[in-house]
């Protein structure tokens, strides 16, 4: 949650600094958009911040001038205190000697605030973040220099944080991280820091990822990384393989629609050099040293959890005991986990707080860990024993689309690689899969379905086998971007309670594909139709469900394991078009942010 940007320019110039900060905030708005603000330092600190999206901050900056060569910015997803100008970041001390932006949650802020108020420090906001500039100010008043005061303050914090600070009279940005991401950008005419690469990708593709417990000092000439004792840490500079155009809309109305249409390319990237049809092998180099595990436990949240459910079933079909856990509910004191257990964390960002907590718990008790993630250099990628990148490319829309499809394809490969099983029909289907995805995108009737049911009171999604997680995902997408009530069920559960909710105002989306007990799901279709519910069948033609459905969304025939992935794309499009017709904020749905870095 929340996005941080920092910049120090070698050539100075207030316009350049402000422009970089504002560009960075625009590139991070998917991480939070309740409020936004910037602070520019040297010789004094000037702060501008506003409730609302970036446009409100732009209006506040209109006609003004901010002097300085160093600056920080923040776009907020609210945790402590509602969205307001006062609660927006950056926050300063009473005398505006230091300005701070923060992502995460400071768990002991209440005790720190009471302590600081008792000695005369004044607080204006309801945020946990405001304790940080006051702690720094206390260090300055004790005679410490800027860096020492910053380090002393950070040492007192409990919880998760990525923090950046600027000081009056200084051309330096100081930063620290603990369980919340920060990445440094190495430029030609200046240096950057941010919560995520899109904030500065238009300026540089050379990055350094900070690890937990590390500090960064960024000046116009240098970037220095140290540990909590102040010892310089050797770092490696990595090159990002995508550019600013990849993170743009490319002419689409919304990032989400663009990313839905990028799925054929994302799948090709995920499969590249991992599937060898002639050699009859599926190989994931990063997992090559792993033998078939005795048991596998997936940990994940949200959309990634639905992918984990899919992956767990794939492994069970291959004879491996596999279970998917919601990461927030995973407890190594309760769940049997040991050195013979393989724990796979599925996380788009590689920074999801609950998933990282589960993986760290698994590491503590000696389990082997694997990260299935989209972000190179993320916390999950660095902290797990093994990593498999899904290679979906940048995803800006808050509602995950291409990363979900890429996760599913990646888990097909993981299941095959871990068990050593080679299914020639599956490999042949993978070869053709990108083209089939494109066929769905080109021929979908989803917009027509969305028009027919945009005013429905609620939406139900049902499926069996590999289709059950996709039914859950279809409902989640509908909820996220339309704000309409939607539920997904394993189809057999419909008659064990949810059928009481079915009326002629609750369309039912039924996933009916080969290999997922289509005859039984057809029986469920007849159950809801008898109660007057309209039915939308998503099908590969494996049954005669078409004659019972009010609308049909077709998918090409493929391997039964892959059919649910094609069906999912149809559901993504339905949700998108319902939201579009309702005028929703599709890329930035209310109350949600892309990367959930707080528990």
- Residue 59 pLDDT > 60: yes
Residue range 453-474: average pLDDT? 96
Return the CATH number of 3-246, one of 2.60.40.1120, 3.60.20.10, 3.60.9.10, 3.10.580.10: 3.60.20.10
* Residue of 394 and 299 predicted with greater confidence: 299
Residue range 127-133: average pLDDT? 94
SS3 content of the chain, % helix, strand, coil (to 5): 40, 25, 40
Q: Under a CB-based contact definition with an 8 Å cutoff, are residues 286 and 321 in contact? A: no
> Would you place residue 277 in the very low, low, confident or very high pLDDT band (cuts 50, 70, 90)?
low
Residues 6+ apart with CB under 8 A from 509: 459, 460, 461, 462, 471, 474, 536, 538, 571, 574
Query: What pLDDT, on the 0 to 100 scale, is given for residue 105?
Result: 87
**Beta pairing class for 458-463 and 206-209:** unpaired
Residue range 324-333: average pLDDT? 95
Residues 6+ apart with CB under 8 A from 356: 179, 345, 347, 379, 380, 383
Residue range 162-173: average pLDDT? 95
pLDDT in tens, 524-550: 888 888 888 999 999 998 888 888 899
Cis peptide preceding 90, ω within 30 of 0: yes
Provide the percentage of residues in the chain whose pLDDT is more than 70.
Answer: 96
- Residue 270 pLDDT > 80: yes
**Whole-number Å distance between alpha carbons of 49 and 36:** 6
User: Which active-site residues does the annotation give?
Assistant: 2, 594
Which has the minimum average pLDDT: 9-23, 38-52, 119-133? 9-23
Q: Under a CB-based contact definition with an 8 Å cutoff, are residues 377 and 387 in contact? A: no
SS (H, E, C) 163-225: EEEEECCCCCEEEEEECCCCEEEECCCEEEEECCHHHCCCCCCEEEECCCCCEEEECCCCEEE
Cis peptide preceding 478, ω within 30 of 0: no
Residue range 78-91: average pLDDT? 85
Domain ranges of the chain: 3-246, 255-431, 444-599
Residue range 96-120: average pLDDT? 94
SS (H, E, C) 256-302: HHHHHHCHHHHHHHHHCCCEECCCCEECCHHHCCCCCCCEEEEEECH
Question: If 0-12 CB within 10 Å is exposed, 13-18 middle and 19+ buried, where does residue 182 land?
Answer: buried
Query: What pLDDT, on the 0 to 100 scale, is given for residue 3?
Result: 87
- Residue 51 pLDDT > 70: yes
Query: What pLDDT, on the 0 to 100 scale, is given for residue 13?
Result: 45
pLDDT in tens, 339-352: 999 999 999 999 89
- Residue 598 pLDDT > 70: no
Query: What pLDDT, on the 0 to 100 scale, is given for residue 58?
Result: 87
Q: Could you give the C-alpha distances from 522 to 374, 475, 510, 512, in angstroms and in order?
A: 36, 19, 8, 7
pLDDT in tens, 2-40: 889 999 986 544 448 998 999 998 888 777 778 899 999
Length of the chain: 599
Mean pLDDT, the chain, as a whole number? Answer: 91
> Would you place residue 432 in the very low, low, confident or very high pLDDT band (cuts 50, 70, 90)?
very high
Print burial letters for 545-578: b (CB count within 10 Å at least 16), e (below 16).
Answer: beebbebbbbbbebbbbbbbbbbbbbbbbbbbbb
Q: Which fold has domain 255-431?
A: Rossmann fold (3.40.50)
Note the pTM of the prediction, 2 decimals.
0.81
Assess whether the region 255-431 and the region 444-599 belong to the same CATH fold: yes
pLDDT in tens, 280-320: 778 888 998 999 999 999 999 999 999 999 999 999 999 99
Query: What pLDDT, on the 0 to 100 scale, is given for residue 314?
Result: 97
Query: What pLDDT, on the 0 to 100 scale, is given for residue 14?
Result: 45
Question: Looking at the DSSP assignment, which residues form a beta bridge with residue 239?
Answer: 206
- Residue 188 pLDDT > 80: yes
- Residue 376 pLDDT > 60: yes
Q: Which fold has domain 444-599?
A: Rossmann fold (3.40.50)
Residue range 132-142: average pLDDT? 97
């Amino acid at each position: 949650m929340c996005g941080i940007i920092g910049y120090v320019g070698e050539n100075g110039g207030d316009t350049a600094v402000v422009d970089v900060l504002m560009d960075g905030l625009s590139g991070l708005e998917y991480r939070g958009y309740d409020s936004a603000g910037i602070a520019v330092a040297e010789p004094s600190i000037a702060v501008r911040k506003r409730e609302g999206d970036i446009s409100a901050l732009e209006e506040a900056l209109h006609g003004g001038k901010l002097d300085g060569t160093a600056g920080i910015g923040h776009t907020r997803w609210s945790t402590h205190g509602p969205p307001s100008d006062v609660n927006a970041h950056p926050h300063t001390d009473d005398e505006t000697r230091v300005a701070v932006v923060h992502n995460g949650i400071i768990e002991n802020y209440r005790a720190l605030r009471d302590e600081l108020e008792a000695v005369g420090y004044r607080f204006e906001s309801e945020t946990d973040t405001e304790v940080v500039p006051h702690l720094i100010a206390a260090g300055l008043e004790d005679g410490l220099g800027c860096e020492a005061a910053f380090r002393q303050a950070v040492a007192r914090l409990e919880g998760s944080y990525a923090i950046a600070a600027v000081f009056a009279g200084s051309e330096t940005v100081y930063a620290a991280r603990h369980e919340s991401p920060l990445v440094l950008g190495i430029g030609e005419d200046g240096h950057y820091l941010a919560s995520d690469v899109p904030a500065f990708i238009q300026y540089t593709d050379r990055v350094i990822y900070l690890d937990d417990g590390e500090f960064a000092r960024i000046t116009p000439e240098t970037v220095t990384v140290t540990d909590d004792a102040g010892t310089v840490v050797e770092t490696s500079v990595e090159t990002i393989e995508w550019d600013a155009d990849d993170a743009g809309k490319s002419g689409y109305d919304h990032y989400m629609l663009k990313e839905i249409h990028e799925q054929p390319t994302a799948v090709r990237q995920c499969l590249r050099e991992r599937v060898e049809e002639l050699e009859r092998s599926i190989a994931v180099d990063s997992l090559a040293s792993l033998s078939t595990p005795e048991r596998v436990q997936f940990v994940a949240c949200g959309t990634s959890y639905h992918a984990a459910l899919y992956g767990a079933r794939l492994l069970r079909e291959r004879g491996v005991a596999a279970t998917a856990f919601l990461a927030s509910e995973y407890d190594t004191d309760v769940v049997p986990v040991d050195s013979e257990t393989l724990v796979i964390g599925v996380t788009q960002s590689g920074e999801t707080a609950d998933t990282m907590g589960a993986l760290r718990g698994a590491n503590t008790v000696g389990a082997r860990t694997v990260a299935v993630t989209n972000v190179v250099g993320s916390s999950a990628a660095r902290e797990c024993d093994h990593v498999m990148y899904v290679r979906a490319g940048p995803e800006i829309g808050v509602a995950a689309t291409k990363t979900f499809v890429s996760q599913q394809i990646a888990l097909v490969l993981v299941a095959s690689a871990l068990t050593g099983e080679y299914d020639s029909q599956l490999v042949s289907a993978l070869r053709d899969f990108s083209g089939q995805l494109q066929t769905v995108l080109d021929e979908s009737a989803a917009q027509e379905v969305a028009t027919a049911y945009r005013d429905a009171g609620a939406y139900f999604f049902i499926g069996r086998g590999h289709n059950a997680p996709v039914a859950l995902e279809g409902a989640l997408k509908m909820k996220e971007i339309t704000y309409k009530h939607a539920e997904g069920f394993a189809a057999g559960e419909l008659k064990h309670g949810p059928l009481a909710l079915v009326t002629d105002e609750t369309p039912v989306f039924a996933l009916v594909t080969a290999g997922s007990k289509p005859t039984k799901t057809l029986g469920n279709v007849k159950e809801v139709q008898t109660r007057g519910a309209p039915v939308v069948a998503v099908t590969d033609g494996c049954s005669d469900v078409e004659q019972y459905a009010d609308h049909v969304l077709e998918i090409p025939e493929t391997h039964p394991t892959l059919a649910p992935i094609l069906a999912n794309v149809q559901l993504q499009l339905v949700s998108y078009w319902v939201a579009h017709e309702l005028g929703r904020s599709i890329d930035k749905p209310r109350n949600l942010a892309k990367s959930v870095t707080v528990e």
